[in-house]
Amino acid sequence: MAAAQPTLGFIGLGTMGEPMCRNLATKSGAKVLAFDVRQEPVNSLKRDGVATGAASIAEVAETAEIVFLSLPGGNELAEVVAGEDGLLARGRAGQIVVDHTTAPVALARELEAALAEKSITFLDAPVARTRTAAIEGTLAVMVGGDAEAFARVRPYLEHMGANVTHCGASGNGQTAKLLNNMVLIQIVTALADALAIGRRAGLDGELLFKVMSDGSADSFALRHHGMLSMVKGEFPEHMFSTYYALKDLTYALELAREYRVEANQAKQAERLLRRTIDEGLGDAYFPVVYEIVDDRGGVD
């Protein structure tokens, strides 16, 4: 007789979280209790018969055996886990918390230690790729923490991601994700420079990026952020915004300082992101940095 499915919880139904929760619920067949401070995504999942809505974080903590989190950043993560009526206060021994938030490495390790005192296992499991990948269930998931707990939750992670990797000890998932995003953001700023120079030199931007994609400059960033966004001048909101890009890069630079690495190119990218926000483009999809480079000549 097959073992009964555990009850799953999912807290945070934003740009990435809502489609992740939808894939988790529909593909696993498990009961999923979902919560978000906004009722709209909860109602959407309920209308489609995908998940049950929870009234509070505490209800998820008290009901679910495995709890997945997808939150805006470190502050929200700390509140959901360690705040009043959060997972630390309301969770129970044997529970597993799987955090998909991109957050500081130190915070992941701090929360892992605090939850371990209550015999709750915490895995940092941030995700990479786009909202389209979240919808299609083809995210890259990088996980830090206990190997046995990882083996238990891996089948659920594979409902949301095409590439699921255990990166080692607690915090290593966040380290991998932050460095991934640090490099991605630097490539995007380099693409902005190339596109601005190429167009001013008389090259068609789409042609330029096509040629680059056929050559040694090809990359995920070129094909997605460059060709699908920069060239077309399309920088919608409700995607990976300039604010979010700056948040992730700030966390990466904190890590660089801790390990005494200069990370000069990342610092240059940080200045460009801050200038983009100062120009009122913080909510736009972060390849919008191109507009700052092209219109204002980049960052001094």
Catalytic residue among 31, 46, 118, 177: 177
Task: Give the pair of three-digit tokens for residue 138.
Answer: 């083809």
DSSP 5: P
46 is known as an active-site residue: no
The residue type of 198 is G
Other residues' Cβ atoms within 10 Å of the Cβ of residue 271: 13
Contact present, 270 and 186 (Cβ < 8 Å): no
DSSP string over 98-142? EE-S---HHHHHHHHHHHHTTT-EEEE--EES-HHHHHHT-EEEE
Q: In degrees to the nearest 10, what's the CA dihedral of 65, 68, 73, 79?
A: -20
Contact present, 81 and 61 (Cβ < 8 Å): no
Beta bridge partners of 163: 140
- Cite the active site residues: 177
